[in-house]
Structure 1
Amino acid sequence: MGRLTRPPALVVGERVRFDGQVRGVLEVTAQAAVLEDAEDPHRVVALIELFEAEDFEVLFRPERMPLPASSVLEALPAAAVKQALWWESHILEVVHGLPPDVERGREPREEYGPGTSLTAREKAKASELSRAGHPATASTVARLRRRYLKDGVAGLADGRAARKRPEFGTVDPGVVDAMRQAIKEGVETSTRTASYLIWRTKEILKQTEEGQAATWPSRATLYRLVEKLTAGTHATGSAVTRRSKAHTAAVPFGELTVSAPGEVMQIDSTPLDVLVRLDNGVVGKVELTAMIDVATRTPTAVVLRPSTKSVDASVLLARTVTPELMRPGWVDALKMSRSVLPHRRLLTLDERLEHAAAKPVIVPEMIVCDHGKAFISRNFRASCRFLEIDFQPTHKGAPFEKGHIEKMLGSVATMFAQFLPGHTGRNTDHRGRHPEKENLWSLPELQELLDEWVVARWLNRPHEGLRDPDHPGRLFTPNQKYAALIESCGYVPVALSGQDYIELLPAAWRAVNAYGIRINNRTYDAPELGPMRRHHSGVTAKRGLWEVHRDPYDVSRVWVRNHRGGGGWVPATWKYLNRAPVPFGDLAWDHVSHQLPKATEEELAEAVAALLTRAHAGPAQVAEGKKGKKNKPSKRDRQVTARTRATAPAVVSPQPEPSQEAADEPVAEEQPETEEPMAEVIPLGLFDPLEDPWRRP
């Protein structure tokens, strides 16, 4: 038994091969088809005969009539749209025999009924329209029918009404090209007005023969041209935004897929729009330096400093891999044990998390930064190499390549800084009348508030960039995202020891002389430096000098690497530390050095100590000079002292041993037993970075 096959379908408008000719299908009935013929107007062939022919083949099947292009119709005048819809009703009657929107069961008219060809219908429609006062030919109806079957109702509209005007009207293309060149030249320069761009355009045209022949438009046309060409470029606006727009990639933005905490992190610094009281009434602004994890949007470290230095970026790395401990006064709800973070599992890996706040500890694998001096410095790059972190700077003038940290710093100004006294706004237009007279926070207090706000608010706030792929309507908080990713990525704690802390400090190379080491007119010495004095370090690349690490915010001591003794660190103390027990940094020292260029080291130490004492006492507590003038510190003195004290760690000077005269003095009479005994005084020692802060007592 042969295989059953469905007979082919035949549609009006198809091209078929039959009886040695290529013919068009004019009409199809239940029993026969009307085909085109080379000798006669048409040929009627029975369907059974047509399908059984050996050379029968369907060569062309017209595509389904496209949907009307509504956007094209919306761009046309109302009269043109009305005319196209009027033609559509007549063309549909030619194609299908019935006009649209007719009653069900209505029979087609005789001239459009079954058995009539398309040619006959087109002639009938042309005659009908001509009698009704709309002159038309059969060829016109046929042309509109073919356009309707190809383009829909849009093909029936008058194309002249849809013609588009040139983008820049009748302006000479040479003028347009010259103005584009003028706009491009101003990307890296200072902002200028539209009149300058017009002048520069004319100068560019004068340099070429083609430009001299160009037609110069009117003044109004030129200003309209400037408005069109500078749209979105900020050519006459912000220079920073203009450079950023000009360096934006012309191709579609790519997307870096990040699936693990620490895989990609970004770091940046920006001025904080808040005034702080640095010390003793001195008001100033500070910079906010932060690092954010792209996968979880967690700000792993946030630091406030009067000015960002390379050592601050290195210290930021140390804070990133160090747990955030609970502070006095923080509520229990901020503990990691009370959060969504897997505290019990992490505690088995790192005991430091027992009293930690609800802030993830994330180890960076790659850090993306801009070309700021603090981030491309040798010290910061050395810190990244030391911690085995990939250092990836962005392209110059491309802040969008680290958009996550840019957005985060802007959010801090919106969500946190505006609630603080002394908020200045992002520019002078948004600044109040006297923000410096408000009740300002000090820098340590503001840092404490910012740390608490990050733990309490930011880490528990649903983030727009942290959506569930399977449920886009659900937002994750940074802590929730970290808890979700840790299930697949795990956690590897990295604890920084005192040795690591010293490694992150900036380095200098000095000789160890008989009197010690001199750095910036300061002498450092220690008994352990004995074997190094006036000896070669063995580092020939540095001419035998010794590697010295120092903290720019505390000049009281330095650390010398013992190249001959296994590479350990030898602490050396400033020789005149007892004259200035309060720690101060390079800023205060350099300020006094410029005031007293010929002073000795001992005199400089006394001057710095006196400066700090005068500033700490305040402008009201001053002493009379020799000539009756008050020794009031200058504004610059107070600013330097305040910025130094704001960034200096607390150091307690060693207490002197009791003298023999004090021991021989008579002992005071005993107090009555009813008197409450004095509490034991426990002195605070100096900070020792070599000591492990996490060891148990």
Structure 2
Amino acid sequence: MTASDTSLRIGDEVMFRGVTYRLTGLDGDIALLAVAGESPVVIKLGALFADSSFKVTSARPAERRKLTGQSMLFDSLPPDVQQKTRRLESHITEILDGLPCDATPGQMPNPAYSVRLSLRQRELAKLSELREQGEAVSISSLQRLRLAYEKQGILGLVDQRLIRQTRITGQTDQRVVDTVLSVLEANTGQTSGTMDRLIRQVRKQLDAEHGPGAVPLPSRATLHRLMGRLAEGRHATGSARTRRTLAQQPAGPFGSVYPVRPGELMQIDSTPLDVAVELDDGVIGRVELTAMVDIATRSIPAAVIRPTTKAADAALLLARCVTPELMRPGWARAASMAASALPYRSMKSIDERLAAAAAKPVIMPETIVCDHGKAYLSHAFRNACRSLGVSLQPAHPDTPTDKPVIERTLQSIGTLFAQYVTGYLGSSVERRGRNAQNQAVFSLLEIQDLLDEWIITAWQNRPHEGLRDPFTPSRVLTPNEKYAALLSVSGYVPVPLEAEQYLELLPAETRVINSYGVKIRHRVYDCEDLNPYRGQKSGMKLLRDLWEVRYDTYDASCVWVRNHHDGGWITAYWRQLNATRQPFGEDIWERGRQIASGRGTASPSEQEITQAVDQLLDKASPSPGKRRPGHAKTRRIVARNAAATAARRSRPTDSTGPEPDHVLEAETEPRETAGHLAEVIPLKVYNPQERADEWW
């Protein structure tokens, strides 16, 4: 034990020149060392500490004698008890040190308490003084108070009944306590009930383990108090979801990762948006919000709203992260990057795409943490991350603390944005107003536009508690300010997406190139560029000699076949493209197949499915001044298809090969079939330079 963690005080044992002494007095810089059977040794403290044989053998830490201000427990005592205790402390310290603790500077010690006297003599002198003052104190009580003060500080002088710590379980049998804890643990995954149900389970478990009536139970009121104390913070009778969430928290301290550059660590998740949206022709439905947040800057580089989140939606979030958001008509100038805290000039000199960009950071993800949702563990999302060099880190199952930032961010979007939108439904049924769903006036595209504008104008410029400056903790930074600060250290590298990278974001399947083309989901795709490869093997052993095919889940008009022989991609168009008036995705096609199968056709042909889809679109399409009837599921599917089709950006095509003649003719001169004008969506030629100036 060294002098750095102890202090030399009266009563300590020290080793000096091979003899063990007890420090019996201190007079200035003079120390009195006594040993049984010998005369006391008087020596200066400087000489004592300088001697190489000096060693403290039984010292008490200096903090053992606690100061009054260090105990909030003492400050909580009644004023009269504090006053009595401080007066008693003054007497005890005078015995120990020769001067009371409240002595004035320069005050001379009372000769009766000189440290040259033994501790016994000083105690007897204090006993006589107290008796003269009318306080009946025995020598044993005085010694007990002195020892308690040396051990506990000023709290040792307080009546222990006032500061006694009691068990939260009181005098309840420990077997009852253990059973209550066991029942509360089993209640984590059960449906919430009342306290009486839990008490009944406790009685049954006690009888089953120890025999009927073997363990006496306290009264019902005592059991209620016991259950309330042990269930503190467990939500035993409250929200089941909250109870499960609390049970999933790790027992130890939460781990923390502190990224130092934008994109080093990002988190992604989806949640239902508490807003009723008018999907199509008055069809009211709930939508899902999928967002990605950057941990270093708390920025939201991408967020999309869809009726349901699919792998393609999650994959396209990556493209939106690395692509600038362009200013839109109606947005305030303050929302532009040129008027924001972002280093616009230096970034624009590197990336010309930022010329008319909004104040949203462009972030290239390095590591993304996600949960075990189907959209994030799909091959499409994994391949998208792999193609962009992004490391995907799935969180532990049922452990929301692995991605707390995105969880809290999605909650913040609900409180800071969703609750101010017309048609807000509340976070639960008990918070929902009357006929709240009937107040929905925004379409899916309008809600998406409002969310994009809110993220740029509000979220990115709102001070965030998680972005405090470490050198000036009182200052709270905004996501844009934090991004600008970290950008000066990490730098900015633009990542424009090319056709190859875009196609890597789409879901993929393996198929055979038959004589009639490629068949996916009962649809046949064909073009002249497939002629040299019909019936041929791809040569890719890992793909079992099949051909890799990429497709857009929201547009069934074409697919892209990877040319494993000569490189590049081949764009194959749907053979029934001119038979329908508008493009549709997988949901519409699958619903049409179900309708056709329900008519008695075991295996409907492609043409029959196409006709069913066309009738489906006719039935669900809005008519002026008339609300069309139909199945709610059908209307929701049509609305999802319409919203996805309208929101879809231009896609890349094979720039090396011409488009089919029938498609070109349909673009320039649509033909009439059965008295109706067949509308065909133009298929644009991919231009990388033009693509770099677009937003996703």
Determine the C-alpha separation between the residues in 1 that align with 2:284 and 2:328.
Answer: 26
Q: CA deviation at 1:67?
A: 1.5
> For residue 555 of structure 1, what is the aligned residue in structure 2?
556
Q: CA deviation at 1:604?
A: 2.3
Determine the C-alpha separation between the residues in 2 that align with 1:332 and 1:10.
Answer: 71
> For residue 644 of structure 1, what is the aligned residue in structure 2?
641
Aligned 1:307-326 pairs, distance under 5 A: 307-326=308-327
> For residue 420 of structure 2, what is the aligned residue in structure 1?
419
The reply to whether residue 137 of structure 1 matches residue 138 of structure 2 is yes
> For residue 676 of structure 2, what is the aligned residue in structure 1?
none
- After superposition, the Cα gap between the structure-2 partners of 1:212 and 1:495, relative to the gap in structure 1 and judged at 3 Å, is farther
Determine the C-alpha separation between the residues in 2 that align with 1:509 and 1:419.
Answer: 46
Secondary structure of the corresponding residue to residue 666 of structure 2: coil
> For residue 595 of structure 2, what is the aligned residue in structure 1?
595
Q: Which moved more, 1:557-566 or 1:387-396?
A: 557-566
Amino acid corresponding to residue 473 of structure 1 in structure 2: S
The reply to whether residue 179 of structure 1 matches residue 184 of structure 2 is no
Q: Which has the higher contact order (CA 8 A, sep 6+)?
A: 2
> For residue 570 of structure 2, what is the aligned residue in structure 1?
570
Per-residue deviation, residues 244-296 of structure 1 (Å, max 9, x unmatched) = 21121111122212101110011011111111111221111111111111111
Aligned 1:260-275 pairs, distance under 5 A: 260-275=261-276
Q: CA deviation at 1:302?
A: 0.8
In structure 1, runs of 5+ residues without a counterpart are: 1-8, 623-630, 660-682
Secondary structure of the corresponding residue to residue 621 of structure 2: helix
Per-residue deviation, residues 500-557 of structure 1 (Å, max 9, x unmatched) = 2122111122222222222222222212222222222223444433222111111111
Determine the C-alpha separation between the residues in 2 that align with 1:444 and 1:78.
Answer: 67
Q: CA deviation at 1:104?
A: 9.1
> For residue 292 of structure 1, what is the aligned residue in structure 2?
293
Q: CA deviation at 1:226?
A: 1.9
Cα pair 1:459 1:478 within 8 Å, conserved? yes
In structure 2, runs of 5+ residues without a counterpart are: 1-6, 651-662, 672-679
Q: CA deviation at 1:635?
A: 3.2
- State how many pairs are aligned: 653
The reply to whether residue 456 of structure 1 matches residue 457 of structure 2 is yes
Cα pair 2:519 2:525 within 8 Å, conserved? yes
Secondary structure of the corresponding residue to residue 686 of structure 1: coil
Secondary structure of the corresponding residue to residue 303 of structure 2: strand
Secondary structure of the corresponding residue to residue 189 of structure 2: coil
Q: Which moved more, 1:266-275 or 1:465-474?
A: 465-474
Cα pair 1:498 1:692 within 8 Å, conserved? no
- After superposition, the Cα gap between the structure-2 partners of 1:459 and 1:71, relative to the gap in structure 1 and judged at 3 Å, is closer
> For residue 208 of structure 1, what is the aligned residue in structure 2?
209
Per-residue deviation, residues 50-78 of structure 1 (Å, max 9, x unmatched) = 989x9997867776554236334357677
Secondary structure of the corresponding residue to residue 389 of structure 2: coil
Q: 2:666 aligns with which of 642, 648, 654?
A: 654
Per-residue deviation, residues 195-251 of structure 1 (Å, max 9, x unmatched) = 333333334334434997433322222222221222112232223222221121111
Amino acid corresponding to residue 589 of structure 2 in structure 1: W
Aligned 1:216-615 pairs, distance under 5 A: 216-438=217-439, 440-566=441-567, 568-597=568-597, 598=601, 599-615=604-620
Determine the C-alpha separation between the residues in 1 that align with 2:117 and 2:667.
Answer: 120
Determine the C-alpha separation between the residues in 2 that align with 1:696 and 1:77.
Answer: 73
Q: CA deviation at 1:146?
A: 4.0
Determine the C-alpha separation between the residues in 1 that align with 2:55 and 2:440.
Answer: 89
Cα pair 2:595 2:612 within 8 Å, conserved? no
Determine the C-alpha separation between the residues in 2 that align with 1:316 and 1:176.
Answer: 51
Q: CA deviation at 1:15?
A: 5.3
> For residue 669 of structure 1, what is the aligned residue in structure 2?
none
Aligned 1:11-90 pairs, distance under 5 A: 13=11, 24=22, 26=24, 38=36, 65-68=65-68, 70-74=71-75, 84-90=85-91
Determine the C-alpha separation between the residues in 1 that align with 2:437 and 2:26.
Answer: 91
Q: CA deviation at 1:22?
A: 5.6
Cα pair 1:358 1:455 within 8 Å, conserved? yes
Identity %: 43
Secondary structure of the corresponding residue to residue 300 of structure 2: strand
Secondary structure of the corresponding residue to residue 492 of structure 1: coil
> For residue 656 of structure 2, what is the aligned residue in structure 1?
none
Cα pair 2:385 2:391 within 8 Å, conserved? yes
The reply to whether residue 198 of structure 1 matches residue 199 of structure 2 is yes
- After superposition, the Cα gap between the structure-2 partners of 1:404 and 1:93, relative to the gap in structure 1 and judged at 3 Å, is closer
Cα pair 1:333 1:339 within 8 Å, conserved? yes
TM-score scaled by length of structure 1: 0.83
Cα pair 1:619 1:632 within 8 Å, conserved? no
Per-residue deviation, residues 120-139 of structure 1 (Å, max 9, x unmatched) = 34223334444655443334
Determine the C-alpha separation between the residues in 1 that align with 2:460 and 2:526.
Answer: 46
Cα pair 2:353 2:693 within 8 Å, conserved? no
- After superposition, the Cα gap between the structure-2 partners of 1:95 and 1:639, relative to the gap in structure 1 and judged at 3 Å, is closer
Determine the C-alpha separation between the residues in 2 that align with 1:167 and 1:287.
Answer: 45
Q: Which moved more, 1:491-500 or 1:313-322?
A: 491-500
Cα pair 1:302 1:451 within 8 Å, conserved? yes
> For residue 653 of structure 2, what is the aligned residue in structure 1?
none
